[in-house]
Structure 1
Amino acid sequence: MTHKTRKDSEPLSKDKFGFISIESKSPETAVLLLNSPEEEVIVKACDAIFTFAEKGDENKLSLLGLGALEPLIRLLSHSSRAVRRGAVVALGSMAVHGEVKNALKKLNAIPSILEKLSPEEETVVHEFATLSLTHLSKDFSCKAQMFDSNGLPPLIQLLSSPDPDVKKNSVEVIYNLVQDYKSRLAFHKLGGIPSLLELLKSDFPVIQHLALGTLQCVTTDPDSRRTFREEQGFDRLMDVLSNPDFSDLHAAALQTLSNCLSDSQTVKLVHKSRGLARLLHFLMAPNAPGVQSAAVDCLTKVAQSAESLRLLHEEGTEKVLAELLSVDDIGVKTSACQAVAAMSFHPASKDIFRDLGVVPALTQLLRRQSLMLRAAATRALYGLSHGDQLNALSIYNTGGHEILVQQLHEACPKTVASSAATLYNMAAQEAIRSSIVSHGAMQALAEALKSKDTEVLLSSTLCVAELACEEEARAELRRAGGLEALVRLLHSPHEEVWKNACFAVKVCASDKPSAVEMCRLGALEILQEMICPESGRNALGGLALNSLLKSNLSVKYSLMGHLASSDIITCGFYDAGKARTGQRVLTLEELTQQPLNQHRPVFSVFTGSRKEKEEKQEDEIPAEETEDAVLQMLIQEAKESILQLNTEKEQYAALARLVSEAMGGAVAEEELHEFPWMLHLSELKFHLQSNVVPIGLIRKGIYCHRALLFKCLSDCIGLSCSLIRGDYNRAWNEVVLFEENPPSMQRSSRRSRFIVDLMHQPGRLLDVNTPAAQQYQTI
Structure 2
Amino acid sequence: MCHTGMGKKVKKELEPPPKDVFDPLAVESKKAETAVLMLQSPEEEILAKSCDALYKFAKKGDENKVTLLGLGAVESLSKLISQEDKIVRRNAIMVCGIMAAHNDVRRLMQKLDMIPPLIARLAPEEEVVVHEFATLCLAHMANDYTSKARIFELNGLEHLIRLLSSPDPDVKKNSVECIYLLAQDFQSRSAVCEQNAIPPLLELLKSDYPVIQQLSLKALGSVSCEAECRQALKEHQALDHLLKILEAKELNDLHVEALLIIANCLEDVDTVQLLQQSGGLKKILTFAETSPLPDVQRNAAKAIAKSAHNAENRKFFHEQGAEKTLVDLLGSDNNGVKVAALQAISVMCANVVSKDIFNKNGIFQIIHLLNKDNAEVQEAAVFALANLSTGCPNNASAVVEADGIDALVSLLKDKGEGVIANTCTVLINMATQESLRLALESHGVMTALVATLQSSSNLVLRKALLTVAALGCDAEARTEVSGFTYNEVCTLGGSLVIRHLPYILNSSSTPKPSQYQIGICWVSQRC
- TM-score bin (small chain): 0.7 to 0.9
| Distance in structure 2 (CA, Å) of the matches to 1:158 and 1:458 | 59
**Structure 1 position 258 matched with structure 2 position 263:** yes
Aligned ranges 1:752-763 → 2 under 5 Å: none
Q: What does the per-residue CA deviation read over 1:62-106, in whole Å, with 9 as the maximum and x for residues that have no partner?
A: 322322111111111212222211110111122223443343334
| Distance in structure 2 (CA, Å) of the matches to 1:463 and 1:159 | 61
State the Cα distance separating 1:308 from its structure 2 match: 5.3
Question: 1:381 is paired with a residue of what secondary structure?
Answer: helix
Unaligned 5+ segments in structure 2 are 1-24, 479-485
Greater helix share, structure number: 2
| Distance in structure 2 (CA, Å) of the matches to 1:151 and 1:424 | 58
**Structure 1 position 410 matched with structure 2 position 416:** yes
Look up the match of 1:372. 376
Look up the match of 1:401. 408
| Distance in structure 2 (CA, Å) of the matches to 1:57 and 1:205 | 26
Larger Rg: 1
The answer as to whether partners of 1:443 and 1:482 remain within 8 angstroms in 2 is no
| Distance in structure 1 (CA, Å) of the matches to 2:456 and 2:253 | 45
The answer as to whether partners of 1:118 and 1:154 remain within 8 angstroms in 2 is yes
Look up the match of 1:511. 523
| Distance in structure 2 (CA, Å) of the matches to 1:482 and 1:158 | 67
State the Cα distance separating 1:307 from its structure 2 match: 6.2
Q: Residues 65 and 304 from structure 1, CA distance in 2 versus in 1: closer, same or farther, beyond 3 angstroms?
A: closer
| Distance in structure 1 (CA, Å) of the matches to 2:368 and 2:113 | 56
TM (normalized to structure 1)?
0.56
Look up the match of 1:119. 124
Could you tell me which of 493, 503, 515 is aligned with 1:478? 493
Could you tell me which of 203, 210, 225 is aligned with 1:205? 210
Look up the match of 1:498. 511
Question: 2:116 is paired with a residue of what secondary structure?
Answer: helix
| Distance in structure 2 (CA, Å) of the matches to 1:431 and 1:484 | 34
State the Cα distance separating 1:323 from its structure 2 match: 3.0
Look up the match of 1:246. 251
Look up the match of 2:172. 167
Aligned ranges 1:528-677 → 2 under 5 Å: none
**Structure 1 position 69 matched with structure 2 position 77:** no
Look up the match of 2:427. 423
Q: What does the per-residue CA deviation read over 1:646-670, in whole Å, with 9 as the maximum and x for residues that have no partner?
A: xxxxxxxxxxxxxxxxxxxxxxxxx
| Distance in structure 2 (CA, Å) of the matches to 1:180 and 1:458 | 40
Look up the match of 2:449. 441
Counterpart AA for 1:361:
Q
TM (normalized to structure 2)?
0.81
| Distance in structure 1 (CA, Å) of the matches to 2:457 and 2:60 | 63
| Distance in structure 2 (CA, Å) of the matches to 1:158 and 1:267 | 33
Look up the match of 1:221. 226
Q: What does the per-residue CA deviation read over 1:80-133, in whole Å, with 9 as the maximum and x for residues that have no partner?
A: 222211110111122223443343334333333233223332221121011112
**Structure 1 position 278 matched with structure 2 position 286:** no
**Structure 1 position 81 matched with structure 2 position 79:** no
Look up the match of 1:34. 39
Percent identity, aligned pairs only? 41
State the Cα distance separating 1:404 from its structure 2 match: 4.2
The answer as to whether partners of 2:263 and 2:303 remain within 8 angstroms in 1 is yes
Q: Residues 375 and 93 from structure 1, CA distance in 2 versus in 1: closer, same or farther, beyond 3 angstroms?
A: same
Q: Residues 77 and 263 from structure 1, CA distance in 2 versus in 1: closer, same or farther, beyond 3 angstroms?
A: same
The answer as to whether partners of 1:449 and 1:482 remain within 8 angstroms in 2 is no
Q: What does the per-residue CA deviation read over 1:344-387, in whole Å, with 9 as the maximum and x for residues that have no partner?
A: 3344443443333x323222323434443233212221232122
State the Cα distance separating 1:463 from its structure 2 match: 5.4
State the Cα distance separating 1:170 from its structure 2 match: 1.5
Aligned ranges 1:3-82 → 2 under 5 Å: 21-82=26-87
CA RMSD of aligned residues (A): 3.3
The answer as to whether partners of 1:465 and 1:505 remain within 8 angstroms in 2 is no
Q: Which is further off, 279-288 or 177-186?
A: 177-186
State the Cα distance separating 1:152 from its structure 2 match: 2.8
User: What count of residue pairs does the alignment treat as equivalent?
Assistant: 485
Question: 1:509 is paired with a residue of what secondary structure?
Answer: helix
| Distance in structure 1 (CA, Å) of the matches to 2:107 and 2:136 | 15
